[in-house]
C-alpha cells in the first residue's frame, strides 16, 4: 500500500511540475535571491502541492469549530484545486465534493481521491458562476482563496447560497486582505493599496514577467467588503482578518513572500535597536484589520 501511495505521489508530483513549469520559468526572471534559494523555493512549492491533504489543518479546525462538527455533512468546495481539503474532510467522516474550472487540477484531485480516499470522492469540472446542483443540497459550502480570481464574485456567492441548505454554513477565505501591505501573488509590497490601472503599471515595472497575469486584475477585499457581499443572503456568524503567522521572531531567514517582507522590516527595526516596535507593529496590524487574509463563516437564514 505504501508503495502504491509513493507511486501516486510521484505521479502527482510530475503533474504539478508540468502545470507550473511555465509559471516558474516566468517567475525565475523576477527572482532576486540566489539560484540555490530559488530552486529550494520551487521544490518546496511542489512538495506542498504534492502532499496537499496534509496542509489543511487550519481549514479543518475552522469548519469543525464554526459548523458544529463535520461528521456526515455534505460539503461543497468551490475551487477545490488539488483536492487536498476533500481528502482531509473525508478523513474526518464528512462527505465532500470538489469542483473546479481547471481540467488539470481536477485530474490531480481525482488521482488523489482514488489513492487516499478509497475512490469515494467525487470531483466535478464546472464553473462557480453556474453550479450544476439543485437548490439546498449541501450542509456547508466553502470557497477558499478563489474569490479574488473570479470575474463576478457576487454571482459566485449567490450560487453558493443557492445550493446551501437553510441553516447551513458558508466558509469564505480570500487573500491578501486589501489592507495588507504585501501582495503574495506578485510578491510586491503595497500593490494591494494602488488603484487598478496604476497597479498594472507598477507590476509591469517591477515584475514584467507578471504583466500578462496583471491584465486579469485580482480583486482585493477588506473584511467589511466580504461581509457586505454575503450579508444579503445570510446571517454572518463570524468575520475576521486572519494572520498567517508572521513569525516576527523567526530563527532563519525565509525564502520569499510575506514572511521575507516582514523579516526585512524586523531586521531593519532590530538594527535600529527598536525591538519593541515589532510588537507594536503586530498589534497595530491586528487593530486596523490589516492582517494577511480575510475569512468569514456565515449561516444561511
Q: In this structure, is residue 260 part of a structural domain?
A: no
Q: In this structure, is residue 197 part of a structural domain?
A: no
Q: In this structure, is residue 51 part of a structural domain?
A: yes
Q: In this structure, is residue 193 part of a structural domain?
A: no
pLDDT of residue 115: 87
Q: In this structure, is residue 136 part of a structural domain?
A: yes
pLDDT of residue 239: 59
HEC secondary structure over the chain: CHHHHHHHHHHHHHHHHHHHHHHHHHHHCCCCCCHHHHHHHHHHHHHHHHCHHHHCHHHHHHHHHHCCCCCCCEEEEECCCCCHHHHHHHHCCCEEEEEECCHHHHHHHHHHHHHHCCCCCCEEECCCCCCCCCCCCEEEEEEECCHHHCCCHHHHHHHHHHCEEEEEEEEEEECCECCCCEECCCCEECHHHCCHHHHHHHHHHHCHHHHHHHCCCCCCECHHHHHHHHCCCEEEEEEEEECCCCCCCCCCCCCCHHHHHHHHHHHHHHHCCCCHHHHHHHHHHHHCCCCCEEEEEEEEC
Q: In this structure, is residue 281 part of a structural domain?
A: no
Q: In this structure, is residue 225 part of a structural domain?
A: yes
Print the domain residue range for 143. Answer: 2-179+211-244+293-300
Kindly list the averaged pLDDT for each block of 10 residues, start to end, along the chain of length 301. Answer: 72 86 61 64 83 89 88 96 95 96 95 87 96 96 93 93 93 85 78 84 75 66 85 72 40 51 64 61 60 79 80
pLDDT of residue 290: 60
pLDDT of residue 247: 36
Q: In this structure, is residue 272 part of a structural domain?
A: no
pLDDT of residue 206: 77
pLDDT of residue 135: 95
State the total domains in the chain.
1
CATH number of the domain residue 17 falls in: 3.40.50.150
Amino acid at each position: 500500500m505504501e508503495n502504491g501511495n509513493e507511486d501516486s505521489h510521484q505521479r502527482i508530483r510530475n503533474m504539478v511540475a508540468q502545470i507550473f513549469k511555465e509559471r516558474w520559468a516566468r517567475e525565475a526572471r523576477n527572482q532576486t535571491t540566489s539560484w540555490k534559494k530559488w530552486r529550494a523555493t520551487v521544490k518546496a512549492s511542489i512538495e506542498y502541492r504534492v502532499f496537499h491533504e496534509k496542509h489543511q489543518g487550519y481549514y479543518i479546525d475552522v469548519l469543525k469549530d464554526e459548523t458544529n462538527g463535520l461528521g456526515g455533512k455534505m460539503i461543497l468546495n468551490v475551487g477545490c484545486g488539488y483536492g487536498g481539503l476533500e481528502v482531509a474532510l473525508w478523513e474526518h467522516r464528512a462527505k465532500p465534493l470538489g469542483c473546479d474550472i481547471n481540467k488539470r487540477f481536477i485530474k490531480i484531485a481525482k488521482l488523489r481521491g482514488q489513492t487516499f480516499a478509497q475512490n469515494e470522492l467525487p470531483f466535478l469540472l464546472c464553473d462557480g458562476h453556474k453550479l450544476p446542483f439543485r437548490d439546498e443540497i449541501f450542509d456547508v459550502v466553502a470557497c477558499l482563496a478563489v474569490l479574488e480570481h473570479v470575474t463576478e464574485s457576487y454571482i459566485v456567492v449567490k450560487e453558493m447560497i443557492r445550493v446551501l441548505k437553510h441553516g447551513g454554513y458558508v466558509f469564505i477565505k480570500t487573500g491578501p486582505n486589501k489592507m495588507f501591505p504585501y501582495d503574495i501573488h506578485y510578491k510586491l509590497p503595497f500593490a494591494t493599496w494602488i488603484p487598478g490601472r496604476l497597479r498594472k503599471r507598477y507590476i509591469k515595472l517591477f515584475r514584467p514577467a507578471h504583466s500578462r497575469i496583471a491584465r486579469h486584475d485580482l480583486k482585493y477585499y477588506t473584511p467589511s467588503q466580504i461581509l457586505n457581499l454575503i450579508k444579503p443572503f445570510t446571517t454572518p456568524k463570524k468575520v475576521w482578518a486572519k494572520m498567517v503567522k508572521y513569525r516576527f521572531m523567526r530563527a532563519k531567514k525565509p525564502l520569499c513572500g510575506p514572511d521575507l517582507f516582514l523579516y526585512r522590516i524586523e531586521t531593519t527595526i532590530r538594527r535600529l535597536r527598536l525591538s519593541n516596535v515589532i510588537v507594536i507593529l503586530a498589534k497595530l496590524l491586528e487593530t486596523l484589520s490589516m492582517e494577511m487574509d480575510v475569512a468569514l463563516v456565515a449561516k444561511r437564514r
